[in-house]
Structure 1
Amino acid sequence: MRTTGDVVVVGGGMAAGHLVASMHRRGLAHRLTVLGAEPHPPYERPPLTKDELAGAAGTEPARTEADLARRLSMHSPAWLAEQGVAVRVGARVSGVDRVRRTVTVDGGDTVSYRHLVLATGSRPVVPPPWAERPGLVHTVHTAADGARLGPLLREGVRLVVVGGGFVGLEVAAAARGRGCTATVVEAGPRVLGRVCTPVTSAAVARLHEEHGVRVITGTRCVEVVPGEGGAARVVRLADGTALTADLVVVGLGVRPETALASDAGLEEDPGTGGIAVDAALRATRDPSVSAVGDVAAFPRAGYGGRLRLESVDHACASAENVAARLAGEDPGPYAGQGWVPLFWSDQYRHTLRIAGLSTGYDTTDVGGAPGEGPFTVRCLAGDRLLAVESLDLPRDHSAARRELRAAPVH
């Protein structure tokens, strides 16, 4: 069967959902056809490792994947239908024909487009030995993941988290709140090593240790061995440590879902692994295709290459930019003057906020009491502010955003 769409969106996460909202504000939602591989309309993913696992505001773990997806849904099916948005769930796109401007859905159906928006997101990194054994380790990336993991976080459960990034630490915090014991294993010398300064990393590690989490750094997990007859698993580390675990969660980062784009002959940025796009977020080899969210590798003035970001703010901002362009507006170059990347992480009752990108900083200016209370770390290259990290100081974060927005692009 062949159907016709004006703007076809491939994906069902934050970027796709925000594109729908942005087009709706412009009175153009009826032009959209959304093809999502999961059996749900677009939904929010950040709460999977924050409110949902932690049981915020007394919430109980969702009983089913469908329950969780409904709770996190960005738009109800009734609202989508009312706005004329054609949403197909469980529609995994297997190919793009850029000459005919069609996409093929598993099963053989084709959908034609005037403009294609790739919001395919990313997938968790799981080493092959573990990926080949379903149920051996858990990830937290989809509603299905959250529905499986939530009920398993119970009093007395021994959890080992492999990976000390935002996802791993948020899972550990949620688990402690539900009465689990928790150990975090990070191969690098410190947690949050890719995204934060050593000052902030040390403060966050101390926060977890104060809540009873064992934090192990500088050694990697080499093996996860299931016990016989359903007994506890053994997690073996490179330094010889053996950890007993009832549950193992892997948070080793993500990779962009670019297979569809690569098969269609679109350019992949070698530095980031994302789909190479121009300053308008159009694919470099085909202006009738745009990429938004995790999968987009976009140019940034003064950066010296393309960026690929994994953040809610970027997913929403990039979708907004593309929606404006599709509506005939001139939003200007994405990531131009006044653009500031934003990140946040909720752990226990604390919030870490980051404005800007600290890549290339040479000095830091620390205020407050890292490891003891609220604090702020300003990252500078010479006298130029690059980024600000703050824990429980929203006013400092807001001030940093204003300062960074006003700074000239170098």
Structure 2
Amino acid sequence: MKTLVVAGHGMAGHRLVSELRSLDTAGSWRVVVLAEEPHPAYDRVALSSYLDGRSAADLALSGPDADADADPMVDLRLNTRVTAVDRDTRTVTTTTGEAIRYDALVLATGSKPFIPPVPGHDLPGCFVYRSLTDLDAIRGAAVPGRPGVVIGGGLLGLEAANALRLLGMEPHVVELAPRLMPLQVDAAGGGVLGRRVEERGLHVHCGVATASVQAGPDGRASAVALADGTALEAAVVVFSAGVRPRDELAAPAGLPTGERGGFLTDPLCRTPDDRIWAIGECAAVSGRTYGLAAPGYRMAESVARQLSARPAEPFTDPDMSTSLKLLGVEVASFGDAHAHTEGSMALTRLDASAGTYAKLVLSPTHTLLGGILVGDARAYATLHPFVGHPLPPAAHHLLAAPAPAA
């Protein structure tokens, strides 16, 4: 029997184990899963719901690696991280000091929060928003009725702001870009999103850098100073300014990394070592990393098929679309949302009174290339499947002017 070691037990690592156990009907692989966190894999996308009444058990992902006794072919070890990879002896060393031999190794180490190196970033009262443990720490420090500041206005930043709101705090969001969610929405969509979340009690500060985190008399973070001279009172500061791939195992093991980090792989998620793969946020597939769950799932499924000697599709052109509700505001972004395709044109409709924005990006032949929906994303389910195809009739209704009031 061969041994597969999976370094990491996030959503991608969990999907890999589930897929492999489903495909490995002959029982060829014994799987050792080394999980750094004290919890089995959980739904990180729904992290903020942990502060809205759901428990760690509610967020747990079901499968053969859900607990230590669920499947005799899966050995799940919590609180255990890989510290070194020896490619010559095909062993990994763990934080417990144990050396585990592998026939195949899948690196699924995920990513870590990026903390801007501003003065005071490491004061007590400063947190990151990444794991259940982080949320437990934020919950313990939250002071209902007091201001809290989130550094970063992307997807995770708005989730973190919502978490502070659920804890009874008054959240502020500081974003260096001129709008919230700059990767997903354009200027007009960001304007609508900003107004809608401010109506729900969020204070938005865009287009300004964080200068420092200031300490109070007790030595804890008490305020955030912005580059424009503004000082924001803060009982809690949460950094959510992006993530970086966890690829620290690469250099000591002689594995290459991408230009922006991550274990460098080919389109089948294979590193130059034919016994080592990388999946999820730590993988730089053909040099590019991906921060969403869906691409990580595709990588995991491909590697599971390879390990079970089945045909596998190369990982190309992943779907990076998003559709979600942030602080009660629906947002969807899909395809070429920013009209980067040469010759493309954008059709937009802004309804200020309703607080909605719709944008469709079309090719010269009226092929749907992508779009943005803010405030009302009900059309996403209809439009998204038509990316790369002629514009559907629903799009014309979406962009039509509203009927005049009676």
- 1:47 maps to 46
Q: Secondary structure at the match of 2:128?
A: coil
Q: Is the 8 A contact 2:143 2:235 kept in 1?
A: no
Give distance in 2, aligned partners of 1:259 and 1:74: 27
Number of residue equivalences = 382
Residues 23-102 of structure 1: pairs in structure 2 closer than 5 A: 23-27=20-24, 31-48=30-47, 50-53=48-51, 55=52, 59=53, 68=56, 70-75=57-62, 81-83=69-71, 84-102=73-91
Q: Secondary structure at the match of 1:138?
A: strand
Pairwise CA distance, 1:348: 2.1
Pairwise CA distance, 1:357: 4.9
Matching of residue 398 in structure 1 with residue 398 in structure 2: no
Q: What is the TM-score of this pair, normalised by structure 1?
A: 0.84
Give distance in 1, aligned partners of 2:120 and 2:87: 33
Residues 190-269 of structure 1: pairs in structure 2 closer than 5 A: 190-229=179-218, 233-269=222-258
Give distance in 1, aligned partners of 2:92 and 2:241: 32
Q: Is the 8 A contact 2:121 2:213 kept in 1?
A: no
C-alpha spacing 1:324/1:237, structure 2 compared with 1 (3 Å): same
- 1:10 maps to 7
- Aligned equivalent of 1:277, options 261, 265, 277: 265
Pairwise CA distance, 1:79: 5.3
**Which amino acid is 1:15 matched to?**
A
Matching of residue 352 in structure 1 with residue 326 in structure 2: no
Matching of residue 133 in structure 1 with residue 131 in structure 2: no
Pairwise CA distance, 1:207: 1.2
Root-mean-square deviation (Å): 2.8
Q: Secondary structure at the match of 2:122?
A: coil
- 1:365 maps to 347
C-alpha spacing 1:142/1:371, structure 2 compared with 1 (3 Å): farther
Task: Give % identity.
Answer: 30
- 1:319 maps to 300
Pairwise CA distance, 1:116: 0.9
Q: Is the 8 A contact 1:124 1:254 kept in 2?
A: yes
Pairwise CA distance, 1:51: 1.6
Q: Which runs of 5+ in 1 are unaligned?
A: 63-67, 300-305
Pairwise CA distance, 1:130: 5.9
Pairwise CA distance, 1:370: 6.6
Q: Is the 8 A contact 1:94 1:105 kept in 2?
A: yes
Q: Secondary structure at the match of 2:70?
A: helix
Give distance in 2, aligned partners of 1:120 and 1:243: 35
Larger radius of gyration: 2
Q: Is the 8 A contact 2:349 2:358 kept in 1?
A: yes
Q: Is the 8 A contact 1:35 1:89 kept in 2?
A: yes
Q: What is the TM-score of this pair, normalised by structure 2?
A: 0.85
Pairwise CA distance, 1:315: 1.9
Pairwise CA distance, 1:252: 0.7
Structure 1 window deviating more from structure 2 (82-91 vs 343-352): it is: 343-352
Q: Which structure dedicates a bigger proportion of its chain to helix?
A: 1
Q: Which runs of 5+ in 2 are unaligned?
A: 391-406
C-alpha spacing 1:232/1:292, structure 2 compared with 1 (3 Å): closer
